[in-house]
């Protein structure tokens, strides 16, 4: 892992734990001096934007892997410490056109994966695909929040998200 990626990973986890963390707190969490952090980022807003784009790109990397939906859920849950920052940056996503476009692209990719599962008859077809994709995305976000709250672990998150989603989406005899 590159130094920059390691720093962004640590900054994302720090902001996920404490969205209001100061630049000094973020520097301490990332193991670099505040001066070094200030040389790398022009402001705290620049840190937040870079972390936001990093987390969205990390989600995109996971969605681009040629995995089953189940493995995708597990991969997203395992990366919860750094990806959960997205829970706190919804307004930043909405305010930034690049971030908003990336987030919309992620949802489109997720919906495409759901469509693939529907075509292979692994999911119900009497429920709208966009609804199935939104439910899955919301369950993943809920899993990240539960991990952050210390209620569940990453492995348990993947299992809970998957069971909660798939048991309500399996084909019925009528679909």
Indicate whether 41 belongs to any domain: no
Q: Confirm whether 18 is domain-assigned.
A: no
Q: Which pLDDT score, from 0 to 100, does residue 175 have? A: 54
User: pTM for the complete prediction?
Assistant: 0.87
Question: Which segments of the chain does DSSP mark as H helices, in order?
Answer: 3-17, 23-30, 34-40, 44-64, 69-78, 80-83, 85-88, 90-95, 97-119, 129-148, 154-166
Output the pLDDT for position 173: 67
What is the C-alpha separation between 13 and 102, in angstroms, rounded?
A: 20
171 domain-assigned: no
Would you say residue 103 has pLDDT above 90? yes
State the residue for tokens 């909660």: 164
The number of folded domains in the chain is 1
> Mean pLDDT, to the nearest integer, of 49-54?
96
Q: CATH number of the domain at 57, please.
A: 1.10.357
Residue 149 located in a structural domain = yes
29 within some domain: no
pLDDT at 169 over 70: no
Supply the range of the domain harboring residue 151.
49-166
């Amino acid at each position: 892992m590159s130094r920059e990626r390691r720093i962004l990973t640590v900054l994302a986890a720090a902001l996920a734990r404490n969205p209001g963390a100061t630049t000094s707190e973020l520097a301490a969490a990332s193991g670099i001096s505040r001066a070094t952090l200030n040389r790398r980022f022009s402001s705290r807003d620049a840190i937040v934007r870079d972390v936001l784009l990093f987390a969205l790109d990390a989600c995109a990397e996971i969605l681009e892997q040629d995995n089953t939906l189940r493995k995708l859920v597990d991969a997203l849950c395992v990366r919860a410490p750094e990806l959960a920052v997205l829970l706190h940056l919804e307004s930043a996503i909405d305010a930034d056109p690049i971030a908003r476009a990336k987030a919309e692209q992620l949802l489109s990719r997720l919906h495409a994966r759901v469509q693939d599962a529907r075509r292979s008859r692994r999911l119900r077809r009497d429920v709208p695909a966009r609804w199935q994709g939104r439910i899955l995305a919301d369950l993943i976000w809920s899993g990240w929040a539960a991990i952050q709250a210390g209620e569940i672990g990453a492995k348990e998150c993947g299992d809970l998200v998957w069971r909660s989603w798939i048991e309500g989406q399996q084909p019925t005899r009528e679909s």
